[in-house]
Structure 1
Amino acid sequence: MSRTLRRGAIAAAAIVFSIGTLAACGAGNNAQTLQIKPDNAAVTKGDIKIQNALVITQPEKEAQGPAVVSATVFNAGVENQTLDGITLPGGSGTVKLKPATGSGKVVVPAGGSVVIGGKGNASAVIEGGREAVEDGNAQEVVFQLSRTGDVGLEAFVVPATGYYAHFGPDAEPAAAPSGSASPSGSPSGSPSGSPSGSPSGDASTGATPSGSASHSAGH
């Protein structure tokens, strides 16, 4: 065999060995590292799986108002579960849960899911807003399920901008009362104007009788 053919055979064998080694690594225990993972927090406990968990604050850093928890809760079980509460261990905010329609607890249906956050979905509002959480942090969030119990994870805290704007909190409602100055202005204008104009007009018409009296006196 010539030197050229021998070198080619050695190179081909090296390539086959490299491909085989990579394939073996991919099929090993670390094969999951090759999969695409979600950017947001996810956790599974029993029949419950929570994905895309986030804490979303007001879009402007200076804005005051509530923050919200956004997530999707899946139930792989055969029985419905209720989301009895959400807590922020180490935080000062209280989370208020509300179903998408009506009142009562948020239900995670058997074999289904429930979305928290966004228009038309269930909501989890964090009172305190900026005082409770801070943008850029990883906030521990615990979901309390009726059958599974506590399911905790760490969720990123992000402002309601860009893609997250559709899932963020409503604008701060405290700004509305400051614009209600119109009621105080209308009462003061109407009473003061009408009484002062009316008496002066009566006095001017009273000049007619005095004029007729002088005319009769001339006759």
Structure 2
Amino acid sequence: MSSSLRRGTLAAAVIAFSFASLAACAAGSDAQTLEVKPDNAATSVGDIKVQNALVITQPDVKATGPAVVSATLFNNGTTAQTLDSINVEGEGTAQITPVGGKGKLTVPAGGSVVIGGKGNASAALSSPSQTVLNGSVQKVTFAFSETGDVSLSAYVVPAESYFSKWGPSDIPAAPTSSPATAPSASITGSPSAPASGQPSNSASANPSASASQ
């Protein structure tokens, strides 16, 4: 196992417990389940708090499918804000898709939004390069309509074990080997026809006919 993969596995193990708080984050940033400080990326700017930020790659390092940004966004203000973009340094802007697939992603006043995982909004990097390396740290910038840019450094982890439920939904299937072509039932040159040179039933050199003469 390469050193980068070992770092990715270690990072995933360290932050898995704190990342489990995503399941209860809809209760708000003051919920009892969120009192444990996360080991992974979190920061606050103004009314906006970004927590549990990760870049999650394909489980197979050789796969060419998308990577995703996963995070929980809290808005402690009295006005709703839209998330206008997510930029991963060196990779460009992620494609943000809200629940339902239309419009902008809105973080309600006094509420929260989860990015990543089944039934939640998503943010995908369609063609991540080699800079998005498991075990590394990437600068991720969330741009909000009122607060502006909120940047932090996020771990890059593969969509394995606990993180499989938050990772890319588009994961290439494992290649399958094609079975060998079965031989045809009818073989050319079938011996069903009489072989050439086989004596016929009425041979001219019949010994019984010669004896009767």
Task: Please report the TM-score for the alignment, with normalisation by the length of structure 2.
Answer: 0.62
AA at the equivalent of 1:82: T
- CA distance in 2 between partners of 1:56 and 1:136 (Å): 10
Q: Counterparts of 1:170 and 1:113 in 2: how far apart (Å)?
A: 22
Letter in 2 for 1:94: T
Once the 2 structures are TM-superposed, how far is the Cα of residue 130 of structure 1 from its aligned partner? Answer: 4.3
Q: Is 2:38–2:52's contact at 8 Å kept on the other side of the alignment?
A: yes
Residue identity (%)? 58
Partner of 2:140: 141
Which residue is equivalent to 1:6?
none
- Unmatched 5+ residue regions in structure 1? 1-34, 180-219
Residue in 1 aligned with 2:93? 94
Aligned ranges 1:95-114 → 2 under 5 Å: 95-114=94-113
The residue correspondences of 1:60-71 to structure 2 (distance < 5 A) are 60-71=60-71
Q: Distance in 1 between matches of 2:101 and 2:94?
A: 18
Q: What is the Cα-based RMSD across aligned positions, in Å?
A: 2.2
Letter in 2 for 1:52: N
Instruction: Tell me the TM-score normalized by structure 1.
Output: 0.61
CA distance in 1, matches of 2:87, 2:170: 23
2:125 is aligned to 126
Q: Contact 1:93/1:128 (CA < 8 Å) preserved in 2?
A: no
Q: Which residue of 2 aligns with 1:57?
A: 57
- Seen in structure 2, the aligned counterparts of structure 1 residues 130 and 59 have a Cα distance that, compared at 3 Å, is farther
8 Å CA contact retained: 2:67, 2:125: yes
Q: Report the 3-state secondary structure (helix = DSSP H, G, I; strand = E; otherwise coil) of the residue aligned with 1:55.
A: strand
Larger Cα-atom Rg: 1
Residues 61-102 of structure 1, C-alpha deviations (whole Å, 9 max, x = no match): 11111000000000000000000000112x134310010114
The answer to whether residue 159 in structure 2 is matched with residue 155 in structure 1 is no
Q: By how many angstroms is 1:131 displaced?
A: 3.7
- Kindly state the Cα deviation for residue 170 of structure 1 after the two structures are TM-superposed: 2.0
Deviation of the 1:152 alpha carbon: 0.1
Q: State the distance in 2 between where 1:68 and 1:82 align.
A: 19
Q: Which has the higher contact order (CA 8 A, sep 6+)?
A: 2
Q: Any residues of structure 2 matched to 1:76-91 within 5 Å, and which?
A: 76-89=76-89, 91=90
Q: Report the residue type matching 2:118 in the other structure.
A: K
Describe the SS at the equivalent of 1:77. coil
Equivalent residue, structure 2, for 1:4: none
Work out the number of aligned pairs and report it.
143
Q: Write the distance in 2 (CA, Å) between the matches of 1:119 and 1:170.
A: 8
Q: Is the 8 A contact 2:42 2:49 kept in 1?
A: yes
Distance 2:171 2:159 in 1: 13
Does structure 2 conserve the Cα–Cα contact (< 8 Å) formed by 1:64 and 1:130?
no
Show the counterpart of 2:168: 169
